[in-house]
Copies of this chain bind each other. A is one copy, B any other.
């Protein structure tokens, strides 16, 4: 015996975790002449390179070499003892798209909101614990929670998100649920937003059952039209752990996000984070602090919105023109995705269409998108739905990719008709 065998050595938590469809797809995304509508990527043209250079100068002048040192898990502490990002964030959270009133002690800083999801999984979930999730839900949350082997309970949703009566029923039938995970605004993948009135009922339902919600909100700054809605956190402050990120409003590479919760939860979160990654980059915290403080965010976001609104409209029109009439989509008022699925009256076609085959054909034509399956916690493997990202491609590519996918869908549909006729 010399070489150890991995068999029997890996933790039970790894059982059933495999490479996902999205990983396979993303590995194609860098290829030349490949048009990916796959990732949840911002437009590279939206990154404020000039602002980043200005911030870099400010940070170097203001913070000095200590910015390159190890930092406290709780957040970068300036030589004067203050924690600049924690002190700036309450202003950011108060903006009308969140409307949250909190103190610095209620905030944990994390490496993107993905790390916050991992921390919450570690904090709350033992094997078999119940988590309520939307159907569909954000696949990154499933990836963060699944190593802790929870039992997902899928909530019914419509074009306005969670159906409150169903949430009430699920809480009543499962009083041991650990928390609800929800993306209320411009949801990934569906693009839909829970309206204010329904948010109030969700908040009241949380209070009625004394339950926590994890409210993941990466997109609410990116509203192209309509009024900003208050977060569920603002409607049920004691019952909601709220997540934010600067990946969509500054740039993903800074890896700055965070969590808003009770002081008790924040203390535990920081203790867990110390074991996970020790601390979050001080320099990047300082960059975000100055981005907020200097009002750069208010110059910058309108430019992103203008860019994305146009791309959303172009994609919506291209779908209208090219996709078979059996599909529908929700036109989102913001965010980064169009979610295309079958109209109710054609739902029977779901068993006849093969989404894997459709995606394979698209990839062979140099086009990528994410199929529906990975967004369902309890997937049947062939959900007939597509998440199409419109932010990371220019207008021409959006039109071309949508046209090609439309053609493939038409072709697959006509094959069904033929085989149906031949019976």
Contacts and interface: CB of A to CB of B under 8 A. Distances in A.
B265 A81 contact: no
Given A41-B69, A68-B254, 9 more contacts: A10-B124, A11-B122, A11-B148, A14-B122, A17-B272, A44-B66, A253-B282, A255-B277, A281-B284
A271 to B, nearest CB: 6
A343 interface: no
A72 to B, nearest CB: 7
A252 interface: yes
A68 B238 contact: no
A1 interface: yes
Nearest to A81: B30
A31 interface: yes
Interface stretch (A208-216, A347-355, A413-421): A208-216
B69 A253 contact: yes
A137 to B, nearest CB: 15
A260 to B, nearest CB: 15
Interface of A: 1-6, 9-14, 17-19, 23, 26-27, 30-32, 39-42, 44-45, 47, 49, 52, 56, 65-73, 77, 79, 81, 111-112, 114-115, 118, 122-126, 129, 140, 143-144, 146-148, 178, 207-212, 238-239, 247, 251-255, 264-265, 267-268, 271-272, 274-278, 281-284
B10 A239 contact: no
A275 B143 contact: yes
B178 A6 contact: no
Nearest to A211: B4
Contact of A4 (B73, B239, B284): B239
A372 to B, nearest CB: 20
Q: Could you say how many copies of this chain the assembly holds?
A: 2
Contact of A210 (B5, B77, B129, B212): B5
A65 B47 contact: yes
Contact of A277 (B11, B66, B115): B115
B122 A13 contact: yes
A114 B65 contact: no
Given A122-B147, A124-B9, A124-B11, A283 B253 contact: yes
A123 B13 CA distance: 8
Contact of A41 (B32, B70, B146): B70
A91 B140 CA distance: 34
A210 B252 contact: no
Contact of A11 (B4, B77, B126): B126
B238 A4 contact: yes
Nearest to A213: B4
Given A11-B123, A112-B278, A252 B30 contact: no
